[in-house]
Amino acid sequence: MIQQLLTRLRFLLRRPQPAELDEELQFHVDQAIQANLAAGLPPDEARRQAMIEFGGMERTREQCNEQRPGWWMGTAAQDVRYALRGFRRNPVFAITAVATLALGIGATTAIFSAVNALLLRPLPYKQADRLVGLTSVWPTRHENVLISPDFVAAQSAAKSFSQFGGYCLSNGDNLTGAGGAVQVSRANVTANLFPLLGVMPQLGRNFLSEEDRIGGPLVILLSDRLWRDRFHADPGIVGKAATLNGVAHTVVGVLPAHFSFPDPAAEPDYYAPADFDQDTTVSFKAGVWMVRVIARLRPGASMEQAQAEMQAFFDARAKGYPAVLAPWSDGRKIAAEPLQRAMTGDDRKPLFILLISVAAVLLISCANVANLQLARAISRRHETSLRGALGASRLRLIRQFLVESLALSSLAAALGLAIALAVTSLVRHAAVLEGPQASLLGRTAQMLRLPFGKLSAVIEVDGWVLAFTVGLALITTLLFGLAPAISGTRSDLRNALQASGSRMTSGRQQRLLRHTLLVTEVGMAVVLLASAGLLVRSFVNVLRYDSGFDPSHTLIGETHLQAGVATLHGPSAAWPAQRFRSFMDGVLLRLTALPGVEAAGATDALPLDGRTGGVVVFDGVPVPPLGERPFACVTHVTPDYFRAVGTQMFAGRGFGSADNASSLPVAIVNRTFAKKFFAGDALGKRFRTNAGPDHEMEPLNIVGVVDDVRHDSLLGEVQPEAFLPMSQVSALFRVKFVLRIAGNPALLANALRGAVAAVDPEQPVFDIQTMDQRIGDMVAQRRLTMLLIACFAMLAVVLSAVGVYGVFACSVTQRAHELGIRLALGASRGGLLRMVLMQAARLVLLGGVLGLGAAWSLNRLLADLLVGVAPHDALSLGLAWGLMTAVALLAGTLPAADAARIDLISVLHAD
């Protein structure tokens, strides 16, 4: 067997020896002549008889060659060489086809690599398919969290899970020690979380269950990143102390370098035990934490069982909730889903829509190249017929066509892969390219990376993506190659050979095929354009929403003023009031003095930060029962804050230096607050709130009214909001600075950091960015989806226009003779132009109508992504149709004009 293989291999490698074969056959003929002579024939006759007997020498030679193993590969190579020669002879065709396909394949591959990395590839944890995330879903929103008493109760009760872990995220700790102060992010994890994921520390150990309790030891696990950056990868780190918020914590381990925390929004610098209260009654004495859940299905348990069990469990738990939590429990559905799905929930839909759009572009490319191939097949019919007449079988001819198509798509796939590689590496290395002086490349990279957050690091071209691209090359080959191959080789030999090459026109069937392809192209382009229009309008609507502040020329930065233990339950580690006040005064003084700064303010919650606040009650009105008291955002600000963020004062006065700890407690409210609680007339009125660090419910006097500012999101509803002077609270934990700057705000980042460090070198400032950047980040995914679909739509329009041009240019060339005769018989040149243009217009209109119909029914898929515009928005649909029709007709005008310019003499002379 092996020997047989070796023999075959030897022959495969050895070149054929034509001389040997000739000699062998000649020997045979000579022997036959000898035999005939011996039989007594005269020499001439002996030779003649031998030759007759022998038959065709060439055929035998050919057949002997065909016996060679791998012979067909040789002819395939022949086909490829022939194809490449054809491309060289007709470079315009080859370049157009390859470029068209490469764009389609490249874009599809790039989008697929994101889909693959984010949605298809298993998460890098032990038996990741058994990991489950729990999500609370309401009709209008969903949260990936449970409240901690529920979580603790579920931990021991859940039967569908073998392990039930969870974590809370926080970004509020100052790490001090060698190398200055930095702000570090933390996750408080249950002791079973890392074992559940199958993660073992590279140094030390995981948390012990006895460390995960209230009042447990101060132990932490470091991420590999923090260990390398701050502890010089010290191999003896386990057992040493790290100073967090001024308190020593013992390092018990370092997580492995390749570990990635299973939360798309966070990659914590270090981990501490969760220390949840084991009391499972829901009350607010001990505080309630929002816990994100990761659980492992028990062997044999199904996702549906887990889902049903959790729904019943939480329905029962909701009965024990106090009235305040009614909005939290009413209509709540618990969704148990694979962790991957839970993690990428919001990212799935845009990605799939992008994949569909890009596939449509690829289909248009295929239709275009198929049309080019068809046109080429018609002008090559003479050649094809000749080859057929010389003995090439139909199958061989079809194979020749397909090999050509495969050569085209392989070239295109290689180029497309290069495009995808460039895009994905741009996304992965975006962090390197970003910076204050970001180049165009850096900005592009950032735009592509932001929507995926830290997940962008895993977007790459791997084996699956390669396989996908190869599959695309093969599928596209069949898509654009098969029809031309079959129809191009179906020829009536006699007619084709008789007709001169230039007079060849396409048959009825081929014309139908080409027109169908064209109509499909135009239709798909209209669908893409309409979708792009809807997304662009939505995006404009999002940005136009009146946010109540002016994000331009604004720089922001955050710092956390804390001293204390980095646990969930640590004693409120606020600074002493005196230290807080002198710190704030010192920093604001320095900030105001910076060159270019027009106003410097500070707050504990910027616009769009999400709502923080409490209930409000009013003197002279009976206090409603718990759970029915109205909510208001409560924000602490310094006097210049409103000027710094650009929020307008409507009535009354702002805060001043006279509002201090010993003066009358005052407040400024927004217009919604004034309208909702005081029917618009709030000045001089009083209210009380439980929000803020002091919880005294002392009466606050309203001295001013400001414009509404959104807190939930750019599209969220405006909440009633009260602003309190920062100078009248004891101390705050989170402080955000806002600078309004005359010039480029980004240039003052270092000055802001320096001003804070000059007052307190232990205090790191982080998340320094311009307000424009921050809003840009918030709409990054929406913007990317919109831009990509808009790009795909434009590509689709251009490709379709090229398609229209190609089809009619070719048809005019082929019909030159007919047009000439029409002209000779008295048709006017304008009439010829109209005739060709009308034909194009019929197809374009048909495509447009079909596209509108498809867009009408398909755009519902986009509904979730739309803001302030209906899926059946007439403007978007109409514009899409109008633009496509105009461009396509313009493309059709060029060949029509050629038809009108036809030179009668040369056409008639051509015969």
Partner 1 sequence: LSIVEGNMPQSTDLLQGTLDVLILQTLAPGPMHGWGVAQRIQQVSKEVLQIGQGSLYPALHRLEYKGWIQSGWGNSENNRRAKYYSLTAAGRKQLERELESWDRLSLAIGLVLGRIKEAQA
Closest approach of partner 1 to the CB of residue 392, in Å:
20
Return the DSSP state at 864. Answer: G
If the CB atoms of residues 25 and 683 are measured against partner 1, the closer one turns out to be 25
Closest approach of partner 1 to the CB of residue 24, in Å:
5
According to the binding rule CB under 8 A, does residue 54 interact with partner 1? yes
Site size for partner 1, by CB under 8 A? 28
Query: Are 294 and 262 within 8 A, CB to CB?
Result: yes
According to the binding rule CB under 8 A, does residue 545 interact with partner 1? no
The single residue among 19, 39, 59, 390 that binds partner 1, judged by CB under 8 A, is 59
According to the binding rule CB under 8 A, does residue 56 interact with partner 1? yes
According to the binding rule CB under 8 A, does residue 22 interact with partner 1? no
Question: Taking contact as CB under 8 A, which single stretch among the options 18-26, 282-290, 490-498, 526-534 is the one that binds partner 1?
Answer: 18-26
Residues 6+ apart with CB under 8 A from 552: 771, 772
Question: Taking contact as CB under 8 A, which single stretch among the options 63-71, 131-139, 403-411, 598-606 is the one that binds partner 1?
Answer: 63-71
According to the binding rule CB under 8 A, does residue 383 interact with partner 1? no
According to the binding rule CB under 8 A, does residue 27 interact with partner 1? yes
If the CB atoms of residues 52 and 432 are measured against partner 1, the closer one turns out to be 52
φ/ψ (deg, to 5) at 295: -130, 160
If the CB atoms of residues 51 and 824 are measured against partner 1, the closer one turns out to be 51
Query: Are 184 and 195 within 8 A, CB to CB?
Result: no
According to the binding rule CB under 8 A, does residue 330 interact with partner 1? no
x/- map, 745-784, partner 1, by CB under 8 A: ----------------------------------------
The single residue among 18, 42, 43, 69 that binds partner 1, judged by CB under 8 A, is 69
CA atoms within 13 A on the CB side of 522: 34
According to the binding rule CB under 8 A, does residue 47 interact with partner 1? no
Closest approach of partner 1 to the CB of residue 36, in Å:
13
Contacts by residues 318-321 (CB-CB < 8 Å, ≥ 24 positions apart)? 320/281, 320/282, 321/282
According to the binding rule CB under 8 A, does residue 68 interact with partner 1? yes
If the CB atoms of residues 69 and 576 are measured against partner 1, the closer one turns out to be 69
If the CB atoms of residues 7 and 744 are measured against partner 1, the closer one turns out to be 7
Instruction: Return d(Cα 655, Cα 389) in angstroms, integer.
Output: 97
φ/ψ (deg, to 5) at 256: -65, 155
Instruction: Return d(Cα 32, Cα 46) in angstroms, integer.
Output: 8
According to the binding rule CB under 8 A, does residue 414 interact with partner 1? no
Taking residue 272's Cβ as centre, other Cβ atoms within 10 Å add up to 28
Query: Are 479 and 108 within 8 A, CB to CB?
Result: no
Q: Is the dihedral of CA 703, 708, 712, 713 positive or negative?
A: negative
The single residue among 13, 15, 44, 67 that binds partner 1, judged by CB under 8 A, is 67
**Which uninterrupted H or E stretch holds 170?**
strand 161-176
Tokens of 408: 């085209």
Phi-psi label, residue 70: left if phi above 0, alpha if psi -120 to 50, beta otherwise: left
According to the binding rule CB under 8 A, does residue 63 interact with partner 1? yes
Instruction: Return d(Cα 306, Cα 291) in angstroms, integer.
Output: 18
Question: Taking contact as CB under 8 A, which single stretch among the options 24-32, 108-116, 145-153, 234-242 is the one that binds partner 1?
Answer: 24-32
The single residue among 41, 64, 123, 697 that binds partner 1, judged by CB under 8 A, is 64
The single residue among 4, 437, 572, 662 that binds partner 1, judged by CB under 8 A, is 4
Tokens of 781: 């995914």
According to the binding rule CB under 8 A, does residue 30 interact with partner 1? yes
Closest approach of partner 1 to the CB of residue 40, in Å:
18
Instruction: Return d(Cα 317, Cα 329) in angstroms, integer.
Output: 9
- Quick one: which of 376, 375, 378, 364 has its CA closest to 519? 364
The single residue among 22, 23, 818, 864 that binds partner 1, judged by CB under 8 A, is 23
Query: Are 188 and 567 within 8 A, CB to CB?
Result: yes
Closest approach of partner 1 to the CB of residue 64, in Å:
5
Q: How far is CA 523 from CA 114, 386, 528, 794, 855, in A?
A: 27, 38, 9, 14, 9
Beta strands 666-670 and 686-689, pairing class: unpaired
According to the binding rule CB under 8 A, does residue 66 interact with partner 1? yes
Angle at the Cα of 117 (from 113 to 122), degrees rounded to 5?
A: 140
Query: Are 315 and 184 within 8 A, CB to CB?
Result: no
The single residue among 18, 22, 34, 493 that binds partner 1, judged by CB under 8 A, is 34
The single residue among 13, 15, 19, 20 that binds partner 1, judged by CB under 8 A, is 20
Instruction: Return d(Cα 58, Cα 54) in angstroms, integer.
Output: 11
According to the binding rule CB under 8 A, does residue 55 interact with partner 1? yes
The single residue among 37, 41, 48, 60 that binds partner 1, judged by CB under 8 A, is 60
Return residues touching partner 1 (CB under 8 A): 3-4, 7-8, 11, 20-21, 23-25, 27-28, 30-32, 34, 53-56, 59-60, 63-64, 66-69
